[in-house]
Amino acid sequence: MRTRHSRRVGGLFLAALVWVLPGRGSAAAFEVNPVRLELDGESRAVAMTIRNQSMETQRFQISAHTWSQDGDGRATLQPTQELFFFPSMMTLGPGESRPVRVGISSAPLEVERSFRLIVEELPPLQPTAPTMGLKVLTRVSIPVFVAPVRKEAQSRIEGIDLKASTFHFRVHNPGTVNFFVKQARVRGLDGQGRRLMEQTQAGWYVLPGGAQAFAVAAPPDVCGKIRAVEVQLETDRGLVVQSAPVSLPGACADVATPK
């Protein structure tokens, strides 16, 4: 049996592959440091370290992918040879660590380039204990950014609207470098500017030319009283605030249920 699931934590993609293997039903532990790599004119090559934190020998495989983003924030990864790195495979004993050299040979472009290095734990070569259990094999995705010729950080909140009891808006990046949305705070205000509700939603990276779409539900008991919405965007490059009036009627209409 093999199942797969994935999630985002901070700046990392994490994915787990669950295998039925002989041995204990515990996940192997390893550390990758740093969790974000940046290449520019002064640092065309950097290093990250992989450390085996478990009591068992672990094997790892590393691959490089281009990283793009559509208008809703969905990520696309494609294998690439633009990044060079060494080694691509390694075996680490308990407590052992090893650096991985990462670099790029091409010159900077007008817009920042984004990549992902996937560090994937491989199944053990030798069988372990004779009892059956679950062995969780983990993949960690490390962002790699190649600086552009000129760095210009910009972030915009666009399309704020309240429809069918849900606030909708997009966070767009018209700049040349990425930014990270720590959280988006949405406030519903009445006609006198008094706060009726406030909700927060976690964000993620927004790449140059990309965007991230947000949808935040408005509580039914206050939705009909909301006359304006304020969005506060907390990013790693600063705070962005945008307000918009609420268009009535229909802002708080329930979505029709199919019959």
pLDDT band at residue 14 under the 50/70/90 scheme: low
Q: Could you give the maximum distance between any two Cα atoms of the chain, in Å?
A: 70
> Which uninterrupted H or E stretch holds 62?
strand 58-69
Task: Flag whether 252 is in a domain.
Answer: no
Contacts of 107 (CB under 8 A, 6+ apart): none
CATH of the domain at 175: 2.60.40.10
Looking at the structure of the chain, the number of domains it has is 2
User: Are 163 and 73 in a shared domain?
Assistant: no
- The yes-or-no verdict on residue 137 having pLDDT over 80 is yes
**Bond preceding residue 108 cis, omega within 30 of 0:** no
Tell me: the pLDDT tens digits for 60-90?
999 999 999 988 888 899 999 999 999 999 9
Per-residue DSSP letters for 12-54?
Answer: EEEEEEEEEEES-S-B--EEEE-S-EEE-SS-SEEEEEEEE-S
pLDDT band at residue 133 under the 50/70/90 scheme: low
Tell me: the pLDDT tens digits for 192-237?
999 999 999 999 999 999 999 999 999 999 999 999 999 999 999 9
Q: Which residue from 249, 72, 252 is spatially nearest to 159, judged by alpha carbons?
A: 72
User: Are 17 and 116 in a shared domain?
Assistant: yes
| Token code pair at residue 84 | 């060079």
Task: Flag whether 258 is in a domain.
Answer: no
Cβ atoms 69, 203 nearer than 8 A: no
Token pair 């983003």 is found at: 69
User: Are 111 and 129 in a shared domain?
Assistant: yes
Pairing of strands 166-172, 156-163: antiparallel
Pairing of strands 238-245, 228-235: antiparallel
User: Which domain does 238 fall in, by range?
Assistant: 156-245
Residue 107 corresponds to which amino acid? A
User: Are 80 and 180 in a shared domain?
Assistant: no
Cβ atoms 154, 207 nearer than 8 A: no
3-state SS assignment for residue 141 = strand
Task: Flag whether 13 is in a domain.
Answer: yes
User: Are 132 and 114 in a shared domain?
Assistant: yes
Write down which residue in 91, 114, 146 finishes a domain. Answer: 146
Alpha carbon separation from 50 to 90, 135, 208, 209 (Å, rounded): 10, 20, 29, 32
Write down which residue in 121, 146, 171 finishes a domain. Answer: 146
| Token code pair at residue 154 | 């910009």
User: Are 116 and 198 in a shared domain?
Assistant: no
Tell me: the pLDDT tens digits for 37-65?
999 877 788 999 999 999 989 999 999 99
Q: How would you label 80-118 residue by residue, b for 16+ Cβ within 10 Å and e otherwise?
A: eeebebeeeebebeeeeeeebebbbeeebeebbbbbbbb
Least confident of 23-27, 173-177, 191-195, 241-245: 23-27
The DSSP symbol for 81 reads S
CA distance 258 to 29: 47
3-state SS assignment for residue 193 = coil
Whole-model pTM?
0.82
